[in-house]
Structure 1
C-alpha cells in the first residue's frame, strides 16, 4: 500500500509539473510581471503539495530555459524564483553551470546572466543552509556536478558538499577564463575536468537573444572573462565564505613561514 501511495504521489507531481509548464508558457507569452508570476506559481505549487524551495522545480525551470526558451523574461522569472525561495539558488547555479559554461562563447549573454545570478546568490550561504529541503538540495547538487566522483572524500555530509560545490564553481570559472585567454593548454593538466571547452554549435540556428558573431559580442565575451576573474577574487576575499576562509588560512600560514 505504501508503494502504491508513493507511486500515486509521484504521478500527481508529474501532472503538476505539466500544469506549471503550461502556466509558465502563458506567462511568457503575456509578458507577465515576474513578481505576480512568482506569487501565482507559489500558490500552485503549494496546492500541489510541493515543498519549497523545490529541487524538482529548479530542474524543470532550467531545462525549460536551456535552450528552447532562452529569452530575457524567463531569466527574470528565474531570478524572481530564486529571490522568493521557490527554487534553491545553489542548485540552480549548479544546473546552469553544466549548461551555460560550455556554450559561453556562443551564448555570452547567458553566461553573463549566469554570473550575475552567481554573484547575487552564491555569497548568501547562511540563509540557504538554514532553509528547508537543505539536505535534499545538497544531494541534488552532488548528483548534478558529480562531486562524489570528482573529490572522493569519505565525509559526505551536507556541509562538505557545499564546500565542494563552491570550490568546483570557482575552479570552473578559472578554467573557463584560462581557456578563453588561450592558456588552459599551458597548464600541467592541459584540460579541465569541468567541461569548459566550448561546444561546437550552429550559431545560425540560435533563437532567444538572437546573438550573432559581431564586434559587440566579442566585447561581451571579453567583459565576461573580466567578470569571471573578478568573481574568483570575490570568493577568495570573502572571509565568511568557504573559499575566502581557506584562502585566509593559507595566507596566514604562508606569512608565519615567511612566505611572500
Structure 2
C-alpha cells in the first residue's frame, strides 16, 4: 500500500531525507545492524516527508550508493528487506541491479549469485500490482533504466508493455550472460550482445575480493552461477505467469523473439554446462520454446468472448504483428492476462538472500 505524509525540513539536512537515509545506511553497514532495525529507521525517516512508498528515488539512491563503494553482505540484506517491506519497488530493484551486477559477474561472482536469487524471488514469483498511485512512475523508471523504449523502438512508455518487456529483457540478459560465459557469443549474428554492454559506472578496477578466492573456487562459483542462470531461464519459460507474458512477446514482437530463439538454440546445441545437467536437457529448452506460443491461448480468448468488462489500466497488444509503433488495434489489459496466474502464491518466510549472504561479497 502506498503512503505519503506532509513534508518536513530538518535542520542539518539540505537534501533530507536522502542524506539522512544514506547516513543511516552507512551506520548499518559499519555496525552490521539488524536489517529490520535499519528498515524501521528508514520508515521513520520517510514518514516525515512526502515520499510515496514504494519509493522510486529510494531504489535509485540505495543501489547507486551500495554498488560498488559500499558493497558487502549486509548491503544485500538491506536491499532485500527494503523490497520485501515494499519500501522500494522490487522489480525496479532488479532492473537497477541487472545493469550493475550482470556485466560485472566475473569480477563479483558472489554478487551475481545473490542477484540470481533476487530474480527468482521477485521476477519468477511475480507479484503484479498496478493499483499503486506511483505504478506508472515505477514502470517508467524501469523503462528508463533498461532503455526499453529505445531497445524496442517505442515512442511512449506504456506501463503494461514495459512489464512484459522487463521480464523478457531480464530473461534475455541471463541468456546472453550464459553465452558469454561459455564463449558462444561469436555465434550470435549481432555484432555485440544487446544486454551486456558496460554502463558508465562499470568502468572500475577489479575489486581485491577476486584475488581472495582461489582460482578453483572462482571457476567453481562461476560454473554454478551459469547452472543457476540456465535453471532460471527454464523456470521463467515454465512459470504460468511469466510464460504468458513471454507468449505476448512471441506474438507481438516476432523479430526480437526470433533473435532470442536463435540464442536459445545455441545454448541447446553447444552449451557444455547444459550437457552436464541431469535434470535439464537440450530437449527441455527446445520443447519449452516450441510450447511458449500456446501458453495464453484459450483461457484469454474465452474471457474476451464472454462479455467480460475490461477495466481501464495497463494494456498489452494481443493480436497481430505489432512491433515498434505499429501496435495492434486489439488491446488486452495486463491484469486480465495474468488473472488466472494469480492463484495464491506466497513469499517464503526466510529469504534466500538471508540464507546465503554468509558468503563474502
TM-score band, normalised by the shorter chain? 0.7 to 0.9
Matching residue of 1:184 = 185
- Partner of 1:69: helix, strand, or coil? coil
- The structure that has the greater radius of gyration is 2
- Aligned equivalents of 2:203 and 2:58: distance in 1? 29
Confirm or deny: 8 A CA contact 2:29 2:74 kept in the other structure. yes
- Number of aligned positions between the proteins: 242
Confirm or deny: 8 A CA contact 1:236 1:243 kept in the other structure. no
Matching residue of 1:41 = 42
- Aligned equivalents of 1:181 and 1:126: distance in 2? 32
Deviation (angstroms), 1:104 = 0.4
Gaps of 5+ in 2: 1-8, 249-288, 297-361
- Partner of 1:14: helix, strand, or coil? coil
- Aligned equivalents of 1:245 and 1:194: distance in 2? 21
Matching residue of 1:111 = 112
State TM-score, norm by structure 1: 0.84
Matching residue of 1:140 = 141
Deviation (angstroms), 1:213 = 5.2
- Aligned equivalents of 1:210 and 1:128: distance in 2? 43
Q: Does 1:250 align with 2:293?
A: yes
Gaps of 5+ in 1: 1-7, 254-260
The CA RMSD over aligned residues, in Å, is: 2.6
Confirm or deny: 8 A CA contact 1:172 1:194 kept in the other structure. yes
Deviation (angstroms), 1:134 = 1.1
- Partner of 2:140: helix, strand, or coil? helix
- Aligned equivalents of 2:37 and 2:295: distance in 1? 49
Structure (1 or 2) with the greater helix fraction: 1
Deviation (angstroms), 1:132 = 4.1
Q: CA offsets per residue over residues 208-256 of structure 1, 9 Å max, x none?
A: x875352111100000001111111111101222445456452579xxx
- Aligned equivalents of 1:129 and 1:221: distance in 2? 36
The structure-2 alpha-carbon separation of the partners of 1:84 and 1:97, relative to structure 1 and needing over 3 Å to count, comes to same
User: Which of 35-44 and 111-120 deviates more?
Assistant: 35-44
- Aligned equivalents of 1:56 and 1:13: distance in 2? 16
Deviation (angstroms), 1:68 = 0.8
The structure-2 alpha-carbon separation of the partners of 1:21 and 1:181, relative to structure 1 and needing over 3 Å to count, comes to same
- Partner of 1:58: helix, strand, or coil? helix
Matching residue of 2:83 = 82
